A and B are shown apart, each in its own frame.
Chain A
Amino acid sequence: MLRIQGVGVMVDDQAKAHKFYTETLGFQVRHDIPLGEHRWLTVVSPADPDGPEVSLEPDQHPAARTFKAAMVEDGIPFTAFAVEDIEAEHKRLEALGVRFTQQPTDLGTVKTAVLDDTCGNLIMIMQGTPES
């Protein structure tokens, strides 16, 4: 059986991503291993340190930045993270200067918001699930 190890996020600068994903979003580093020009850099949630990892990978491929820019223009998040209290999280992150392209929105069984990770991606935070 295949297991889900985590998700990759393509970032324009690993040092900046390291700072944003730990200091601002509140994840903690799981792996930080020099790998030639770049690093194998992954973070996990302190709530689930043995859980799925987010790999902060360099967006070196020329097509990656074109793709990312088109996604950001239309407000489409690259991936989503779960939160318990979206209003509290939104308030906390906005106070830290995080730019939201979508304020918390009640969509029935799920509440979502979309933020800019400063590394060329939009990230969704969500409370609840679409089916529950």
Chain B
Amino acid sequence: MRTQPVDPGLTCKPQLAYALLGSLMDDLYRAIADPTRRAILDELVERDGQSLFELCGRLIMKHGIASSRQAISQHLELLEAAGLVIVKREGRYKFHWFNGEPLKAIAERWPAKN
């Protein structure tokens, strides 16, 4: 049982922010560490806003990735958690969009030398 109240003051916020950021970065590196997830991103860069069905078709026909629809769905959830894929509903349809924004943090952290 915790008896001390959690300090709501400013002092703990930087650590919290770093911890959150660190966890987001972990999600990002984990997301791009897998070849199937990288292939998903490649296909979304080629055509943005795809249904799960289209993505699965492209993965099997173009990359020979014959994972189940359920497995691809789980890969997409991981990519979504890392902020690399955005899911948008349009009426009864669900489409997946690429978002490269989180990748900027990598280049900012380890800038290429000129």
Contacts and interface: CB of A to CB of B under 8 A. Distances in A.
Nearest to B55: A75
Contact of A112 (B52, B57, B69): B57
B54 interface: yes
A74 B53 contact: yes
Report whether over half of chain A's contact residues are helix, strand or loop; otherwise say mixed.
mixed
Contacts, number: 48
A72 interface: yes
A110 B62 CA distance: 11
Contacts of A122: 53
B54 A75 contact: yes
Interface stretch (A2-10, A18-26, A51-59, A99-107): A99-107
Interface in A85-119: 101-103, 105, 107-108, 110, 112, 114
A105 B62 CA distance: 11
B92 A76 contact: no
Contacts of A130: 61
Interface residues of A, number: 18
B52 A74 contact: yes
Interface string A2-39: 00000000000000000000000000000000000000
B58 A107 contact: yes
A107 B47 CA distance: 13
A69 interface: yes
Nearest to A113: B54
A73 interface: yes
Contacts of A101: 51, 54, 93, 95
B94 interface: yes
A111 B50 CA distance: 16
A105 B58 contact: yes
Interface string B57-84: 1100110000001000000000000000
Contacts of B95: 101
Interface of B: 47, 50-54, 57-58, 61-62, 69, 92-95
14 contacts: A72-B92, A72-B93, A74-B69, A76-B53, A77-B53, A101-B51, A101-B54, A102-B51, A105-B57, A107-B57, A107-B58, A107-B62, A110-B61, A130-B61
